[in-house]
Each structure stands twice: as C-alpha cells, then as structure tokens.
Amino acid sequence: MNDVTAEALTPKLTGKIARDRIRLLRTPRPPQGLIEKFKRIPDASSVISDVMDELGITGAIGASVLKPTLPNASIVGPALTVRNIIQREHVYETARDHVNRMAEFEAHNLAQPGDVIVIDGVAGISNMGGISAQTGKRQGEAGAIVSGGIRDVSHSRRVDYPLWATEITPVTGKWRIETVEINGDIQIAGIRVSPGDIVVADETGVCFIPIARAAEVLERALAKAAFEEEKCSAIDAGTSVADLPSKE
C-alpha cells in the first residue's frame, strides 16, 4: 500500500464511550461526480424540494426551522450522523465531577473532506461550539446541521464553518449531553437521515436526500433548473407573461 499503512488509514478513536457508539467507521460515499453536479443547481433547496415532492420523498426543512449562521452559505455533501440525548445525572453533579459524555469530536475524527455533520441533538443546550466548528473546518467538512442548540457563533463564522441549527444558546452541552450513536439512523424534524444521505443546505432551507434516490433526484433537479433558467432568460428578454415557458 505504498508508504501508507492500514493503521494510518484507520480512524483513531479517542475514547471507549465513542468506540462503543460508532455504527460505521466509514460513511458511505456517493457516486463519483454526484456532489459536484448537485452544486451546479441554483436555488438548490427549492428546486430539490419540488423534485422530492414529485417523487414522493419527504426530506425538506425550511430555514425558519434550521437557521443558517452564515449569509449566502450553500453546501452539499454526504451526511455523517450523530445522536445526542440528555445525561441522566443532574448537571451540578456532572459539572462538579467533570463528566463529559459528548463525542461529536469522534464524528470530526471520522469525517472525510466534504462530509456534513448532522446532529440529532438536544434542545436548549449547545450540541456544537466554536472549537468543534474549527475542528470540522480543519477536517475539510462542508459544514454541519444541528437539530438543537449551538453556541460560539462568532467563532464558527470567523473560521468560515457553515452551520444550520434550530437554536443558539450559551448553555454548554459538555456536562448535560451524552452522545449515544455516531453514523446510525437519526431523526431531524421528523425526517429520517441515514449515514451517506445527501445533504443540500442554503439560505432557504435544508434537504436530506436518501442516497438510494439521489441520482434520480439529481437528474430531475438539473432538468428543472435548466427550465427555470430558460424562463428567467425569457423574462429578461421582455417576453410577455402569456408567452413565458410553462411546461418543464
């Protein structure tokens, strides 16, 4: 294997809690070229949401629910999933004894360039902070989607790490949250997300596309985007409303 050993290619796990919770060491990868083609679609979440409706796929969530932290941010990538729950012990006990069961750093450890961390998190508590965001940026992640709280937003903005979250709070999760699964199936706003599903996020919202349907969604989305571009060109050219293209 040239100068690269099998050991070097195996993610190094930093804690027994995390090792016990990881379902897949390797996030399923999309077909070659698929992510780049999704990135060509303008107004991607809207176009893809329409296509998913037509195909009977549930997977779109508005930006009023999952709010972006960076203006003009737009990302596409495979999901690397994390599931958090509240710790059983009272926070005063865990803080006093420094009991930290958060393990999203193991997701960063597993991440490959372009991955999107997707966290099924805890409301009212931070599931990702600034140092975590900076780590994700260093790992080459596209960004993160968090159902739950995040904090240190100025830090994540400073390192240009895009985040979409349901809440922003200063309340730390390190004494309150337990990560119970990495790279398993999760639920985000009632939508099932599996490792490797395609995540498309922009200022309008977030779409989760099942990897098994991604090529089908992509083909229709590219066609719809081309039709809308044609329609916009006709508008700019002064075509009357009655004569604008009306069928895709």
Segment holding 193, helix H or strand E? strand 191-193
The annotation status of 151 as a binding-site residue, yes or no, is yes
Q: Is 139 helix (H, G, I), strand (E, B) or coil?
A: coil
Concatenated DSSP letters of 25-58: SSPPPPPTTHHHHHTT-TTHHHHHHHHHHHHT--
Q: Is 107 helix (H, G, I), strand (E, B) or coil?
A: helix
Closest CA to 201 of 159, 133, 145: 145
The annotation status of 157 as a binding-site residue, yes or no, is no
Inter-CA distances, 199 with 64, 66, 193, Å: 17, 13, 9
- Rounded Cα distance, 67 and 192, in Å: 19
CA dihedral 150, 154, 160, 164 (to 10 degrees): 30
User: Which residues carry a binding-site annotation?
Assistant: 151-152
User: Which residues carry a binding-site annotation for Mg(2+)?
Assistant: 152
User: Which residues carry a binding-site annotation for substrate?
Assistant: 151
